[in-house]
Structure 1
Amino acid sequence: MEAEEELAPGVTARFGAVVVERAAPELIACCLDARAGFVWFDRRSRMCLATPCPRAVARRLAVVPVDFGFRPVRGVAQVPILEPDGSLFFSGYHARTRTFVATDPLELPERPTRADAGAALEAILAPFAGYGLEDPERRACTACAVLTAASRPSVPTTPVILVDATTIGAGKSKYARAIATIASGSGFVILAEGHSPDEMEKRLYAVLMRVPAAFILDNLQRSLASSTLESLITEGTTNIRIFGTLDTVDVEACSTVIVTANNSILRTDMLRRVLPVRLVVLNEQPERRRFDFDPVDVAHKRRREILAAAFTVLR
């Protein structure tokens, strides 16, 4: 059973998901207390006595962190960053994308041949072998979805990956989780729609404030219409109000966004902001089908190979 943690109502993170927490003054004070000693001069005893971090110091660090040499972080990437010259950045802080990268080096061919590209394509598609990839459109869209997940932190914006099925039991959730596994490794965030559009926006806020490597809006029932998502996809940033306050923050995100639905309906503004993957099942009882492999398991076990193949194609 997959271990999960509830980040907020309707928002769960799989075990291993790397998320970013906003540096609240209280958190900053705790970190400073653990790493530094603060004292105050007691006039009565004429001695310097230990004291917790002054809240004024923590608040100032929270408001203007750049003034103290702290670097802005757009997110944590668990795939390499592709540089304009074709090289890959694997570990540490990447200044151009303002991303902290935490991944292992990949072995790629120095001068890929056509045969290398063909083998790479087959590796990219391996987790999705049971999804009717003999259909050229579905095959192309699946390859694009994997390449989008692999390259997401390297570029300012990418479309939402919409996994749209003709009926229940088509395997769209497994498909989406396989894509999210490629993007994030062992952990990603799953978001339930909620009972109203306002509730969905609140849940999106909770997810975007944590900037996971990938998140899935699972089993969408209503029309896909979200100003927050549209802004994020188009501009790479969105404005979010902090819960319980009147304060707002601009949030940049490098998350791979995946939506699953059955016969989805999109708002007009969203139509050009999605990469649609259509799963067509002709079986009258698709939920009774049995497969000898698990797409998520294949994606997890062969992730390094898939990423190497993806960057072979992207370079």
Structure 2
Amino acid sequence: MRHDPGKLPEILDECEQALVEINCNLFVQSGRLVRIYPAKEGLIFGVSRPRGAITLHPVDGAHLVELLTKAAIHQRFDARAEEYKPCDCPRRVADAFLARGNWPHLNQLAGFIEAPTITPDGRVIEQPGHDEDTELFAAFEHNVRSTSPKPMPSRTDAEKAKLVLMELVDDFPVVGEEDTSAMLAGIITSLVRRILPAAPMMAITAPTPGTGKTLVAETFAIIATGRRASVLSLGHDESEAEKRMGGVLMAGDSCILLDNVERPLKGDLLCQVCTQQFVRLRPLGASGMVSIPTHALLVATGNNLSIVGDLKRRVVLIRMDAKTERPEQRTFPRDHLKTVFERRGELIRAALEIPLAYIAAGSPAIAGLHPLGGFELWDKMVRRPLVWLGMADPLKAAEALRQQDPDLETMRMLFESWRAVFPSGQATAAEVVAASLDGMMNGTVKTNPDLYDALQMVCAEKINSRRLAGWLRTHRDRIIDGMKLEQCGMDGHAKIARWKIVKCG
């Protein structure tokens, strides 16, 4: 490759072809060049990764000089000797190559997998290297490949696979059948998460430390990657937590563990990671934003884990209770994690044969099971196969979590007391406030105590029409227990919104 003046476009084309020919583990993701190789062990920027953890690393100009120098013989004309002489790839060439932002001959990378996985049509991805259809890079070892599932398993095969996975659950004091199903859902999700555009977070809770919450999360990670999970420390600052989360997403970690969460779990980025296929993030030191895949399995653990806001409908809840004061003092007949490591291949095969059997059976409809909005493919590949095998709905425990949502309880109280005070259902915010305070001005007992209590929860510090009006606008068209909040025009010359609670459904 001769670096002559005026030949830069041709040189850049030759550079790309040279990189393709040497198969240099270089990929394109979201308009940036990345490589796959092990991350440093230990705690870095609030993230602790185990030895050998594979991550994505962006390629900079200095590193690209090295790669291009390996990929081709570079020459520069020596005017004094009047001949071409060998040289390293010039840094300006590497920088120009990076600045292109488009490398059509390099493989696009959606992410990497460290165990076989399956596509929605039932194809098993089991060969190492880059899979063109899914743009996934399979980075697993031969002993894992040899445990690939049957391509068309029967229902009987799936029943046997279910029993294999349930042996793991026997090591944990789960509360109910739905929690057993939720744990199996976590195992399957860990293997198919890279295929799914969206998937709920696994939330593991128990009333007492030492129950085994982290052990469950590590089980998911070991099956999916062959290692323990990358642990993300949220800390107490929401902004810092989102920066750390953005960092692990750009690094491409397969399983992200939020361990021993002590504060209420919430946040826009957590919600986006669960429900959106990509999020817009700014790489460290860069001025522009890039679109990063979100296909990492999120797992959170905590004692009486508190999940608030919109995140409640984005979780699969796994409840455990050892029913003892010191659960960490229990004894077990085997080392759970050692068992998972030793039987990893068998567990991978069992976990994948369950959705494969469901797909092979034609993905039959299940009466009374409504899809989880925003998670349709997860519903098809994880939740429905388990229910098809006679297991409880893995979302059942999370539904109880939703019913305990204080926001929903506030809404329910206001809607019910509103309809009791205003039979027509219609009122302005000011009229509702006045009705709640009726009887207080002259020192008598409150006429509408339930409405007053509801408005105290809505308005927090002080009941007034401005706060209530803002709350009503935020919750317009919300439905709970068959009651819907609607705006029904404006009130006279004052142009004040009128609201009503109507029965629906």
Note if 1:101 corresponds to 2:138: yes
Q: Which deviates more, 174-183 or 67-76?
A: 67-76
Question: Corresponding residue for 1:290?
Answer: 331
- SS of 1:254's partner is coil
2:316 corresponds, among 275, 281, 301, to: 275
Q: How many residue pairs were aligned?
A: 313
- Mapped partners of 1:16, 1:187: distance in 2: 10
Q: Which amino acid is 2:134 matched to?
A: T
1:81 corresponds, among 113, 117, 120, to: 117
- SS of 2:286's partner is coil
Q: Which deviates more, 241-250 or 163-172?
A: 241-250
Q: Give percent identity, aligned residues only.
A: 27
Q: Which amino acid is 2:59 matched to?
A: A
Larger radius of gyration: 2
Q: Which amino acid is 1:141 matched to?
A: A
- Mapped partners of 2:241, 2:148: distance in 1: 41
- Mapped partners of 1:187, 1:38: distance in 2: 43
Higher relative contact order structure (alpha carbons within 8 Å, sequence separation ≥ 6): 1
Offset, 1:287:
2.1
Deviations 1:5-49 (A, max 9, x none): 136232121122111111222222221122222222222332323
Where structure 2 has 5 or more consecutive residues not aligned to the other structure, the ranges are: 1-39, 357-505
1:121 corresponds, among 138, 155, 162, to: 162
- Mapped partners of 1:109, 1:241: distance in 2: 42
2:282 corresponds, among 237, 241, 244, to: 241
Question: Corresponding residue for 1:90?
Answer: 126
Question: Corresponding residue for 1:201?
Answer: 242
- Mapped partners of 1:57, 1:78: distance in 2: 34
2:87 corresponds, among 35, 51, 63, to: 51
Q: Structure 1 pair 61/106, CA: closer, same or farther in 2 (3 Å)? A: farther
Contact preservation (8 Å) 2:169, 2:180: no
- SS of 1:69's partner is coil
Q: Structure 1 pair 84/206, CA: closer, same or farther in 2 (3 Å)? A: closer
- SS of 2:80's partner is coil
- Mapped partners of 1:234, 1:134: distance in 2: 27
Note if 1:12 corresponds to 2:71: no
Contact preservation (8 Å) 1:133, 1:139: yes
- Mapped partners of 1:147, 1:231: distance in 2: 21
- Mapped partners of 1:226, 1:196: distance in 2: 11
Structure 1 residues 68-217: aligned runs within 5 Å? 68-91=104-127, 92-103=129-140, 104-109=145-150, 112-133=153-174, 135-217=176-258
- SS of 2:287's partner is coil
Deviations 1:68-97 (A, max 9, x none): 411221211112231343220112212332
- Mapped partners of 1:62, 1:259: distance in 2: 37
Deviations 1:110-161 (A, max 9, x none): 6534432222112122333221358211111111111111211222221111
- Mapped partners of 1:239, 1:85: distance in 2: 29
- CA RMSD in angstroms, aligned pairs only: 2.3
Q: Which amino acid is 2:73 matched to?
A: G
- Mapped partners of 2:151, 2:126: distance in 1: 17
- SS of 1:67's partner is coil
Q: Which amino acid is 1:270 matched to?
A: L
Q: Structure 1 pair 79/65, CA: closer, same or farther in 2 (3 Å)? A: farther
Q: Structure 1 pair 274/96, CA: closer, same or farther in 2 (3 Å)? A: farther
- Mapped partners of 1:125, 1:263: distance in 2: 24
- Mapped partners of 2:120, 2:152: distance in 1: 17
* TM-score, length basis structure 2: 0.58
Q: Structure 1 pair 111/37, CA: closer, same or farther in 2 (3 Å)? A: closer
